[in-house]
């Protein structure tokens, strides 16, 4: 379906609070790995998405830099990938408007993330929160991205992106936008809360013990894993045996994703053992992988001007790809462009 489009990867992360192990395993770690495939990679700190709920301005600036530091600490190299913050490339907002005229209101109301975030008083949510998926479609399609690595919670938004591309192509009789493939892969596409195996690990959970933050030090990581909710049974030899044990399944998935193994490989080693043995081993792996990331983040954060320079440079490169595609979109729609 994407025969005519050169492979290109795009993904983004909101700077709406500290990032978690879920963001790392579901997204950042894979962003760095995809950089090695030879396919062009474009990564974005999506600040325009973050402001769909109120953000304190100085904190937003800080969190945007912190998210950029997290990309780099996780291995995204701004020389090999394009790394920038969304609001510096105006094509995103312009394309989002064009897509607001393509997407249907009913599509937006169906989004589970809108329902979750807007809560009971959805009439009082910002209009931006409702239109959010059209901006996300714009992020992706303004680069003609063919593949988007994300965690499982973004699946519905990516389906909507495909719907926008399909409807635009159909309405204007073109094959202009690619039908983007979601890349939702690996053992940790949905990292769950350490306190409740039925809830996603999230930066917005009121309990700090529910998540591992990218900025947590070794002691905090080890302590949170020690206190993670589990059950009293020993571990089985394969994942089939963990169907009704969400907390245990989550910890095994986390272990597997951190150590680049399959969950079954992990279980083959721990079969018959309880959490008294498993948790310290998991804590060791988690500290080994996460502590250096926290350290690198601190190093990057010590020089905010350098982060801003990197983001500005990335935005120039992003703009050079996005603007011609935006211009062609305007031509297809029938919008006159006659400035010198």
Residues of 173-191 as b/e, b for ≥16 C-beta within 10 angstroms? eeebbbbbbbbbebbbbbb
CB of 158 vs ligand TYM, minimal distance in Å: 8
Q: Round to whole Å and give the CA distance between 272 and 97.
A: 56
When the beta carbons of 86 and 230 are compared against ligand TYM, the nearer one is 86
β-bridge mates for residue 40, sequence order: 8
Residues belonging to the active site: 117, 200, 203
Neighbours of 142 (CB within 10 A): 26
Give yes or no for a contact between 282 and 251, defined as CB atoms under 8 angstroms apart.
yes
CB of 117 vs ligand TYM, minimal distance in Å: 10
Q: Round to whole Å and give the CA distance between 296 and 72.
A: 8
When the beta carbons of 249 and 274 are compared against ligand TYM, the nearer one is 249
Q: Round to whole Å and give the CA distance between 226 and 255.
A: 14
Give yes or no for a contact between 252 and 263, defined as CB atoms under 8 angstroms apart.
yes
Contacts with ligand TYM by CB under 6 A lie at 10-14, 22-23, 26-27, 46, 49, 136, 139-140, 148, 150-151, 153-154, 157, 188-191, 200-201
Q: How many CA atoms lie within 13 A of 303 on its CB side?
A: 8
Q: Which residue is nearest to ligand TYM (CB)?
A: 26
| CA nearest neighbour of 158 among 186, 171, 139, 130 | 139
Q: Which helix (H) or strand (E) holds 284?
A: helix 275-301
| CA nearest neighbour of 14 among 296, 295, 203, 294 | 203
When the beta carbons of 145 and 235 are compared against ligand TYM, the nearer one is 145
Angle (nearest 5°) at CA 164 between 93 and 76: 60
When the beta carbons of 127 and 277 are compared against ligand TYM, the nearer one is 127
CB of 259 vs ligand TYM, minimal distance in Å: 17
Q: Which helix (H) or strand (E) holds 337?
A: none
When the beta carbons of 13 and 235 are compared against ligand TYM, the nearer one is 13
When the beta carbons of 139 and 275 are compared against ligand TYM, the nearer one is 139
Q: What is the end-to-end Cα distance of the chain in Å, rounded?
A: 36
Give yes or no for a contact between 31 and 11, defined as CB atoms under 8 angstroms apart.
yes
When the beta carbons of 162 and 200 are compared against ligand TYM, the nearer one is 200
**C-alpha 62 chain-centroid distance:** 18
| CA nearest neighbour of 11 among 25, 28, 2 | 28
């Amino acid at each position: 379906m994407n025969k005519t489009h050169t492979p290109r990867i795009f993904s983004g992360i909101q700077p709406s609070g500290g990032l978690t192990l879920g963001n790392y395993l579901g997204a950042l770690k894979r962003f760095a790995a995809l950089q090695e495939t030879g396919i062009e990679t474009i990564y974005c700190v999506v600040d325009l998405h973050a402001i769909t709920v109120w953000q304190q301005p100085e904190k937003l600036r800080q969190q945007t830099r912190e998210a950029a530091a997290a990309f780099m600490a996780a291995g995204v190299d701004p020389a090999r990938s394009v790394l920038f913050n969304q609001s510096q490339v105006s094509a995103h907002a312009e394309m989002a408007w064009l897509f607001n005229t393509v997407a249907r209101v009913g599509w937006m109301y169906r989004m589970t993330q809108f329902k979750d975030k807007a809560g009971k008083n959805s009439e009082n949510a910002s209009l931006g929160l409702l239109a959010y998926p059209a901006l996300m479609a714009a992020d992706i399609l303004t680069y003609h991205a063919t593949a988007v690595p994300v965690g499982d919670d973004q699946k519905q938004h990516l389906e909507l992106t495909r719907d926008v591309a399909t409807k635009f192509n159909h309405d204007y009789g073109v094959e202009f936008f690619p039908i983007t493939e979601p890349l939702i892969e690996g053992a940790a596409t949905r990292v769950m809360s350490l306190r409740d195996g039925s809830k996603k690990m999230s930066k917005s959970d009121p309990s700090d013990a529910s998540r591992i933050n990218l900025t947590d030090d070794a002691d905090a990581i080890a302590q949170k894993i020690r206190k993670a909710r589990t059950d009293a049974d020993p571990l089985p030899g394969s994942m089939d045996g963990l169907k009704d044990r969400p907390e245990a399944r989550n910890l095994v998935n986390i272990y597997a994703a951190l150590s680049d193994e399959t969950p079954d490989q992990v279980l083959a080693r721990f079969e018959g053992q309880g959490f008294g043995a498993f948790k310290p081993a998991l804590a060791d792996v988690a500290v080994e992988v996460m502590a250096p990331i926290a350290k690198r983040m601190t190093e990057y954060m010590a020089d905010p001007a350098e982060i801003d320079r990197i983001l500005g440079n990335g935005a120039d490169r992003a703009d050079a790809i996005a603007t011609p595609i935006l211009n062609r979109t305007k031509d297809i729609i029938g919008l006159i462009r006659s400035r010198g």
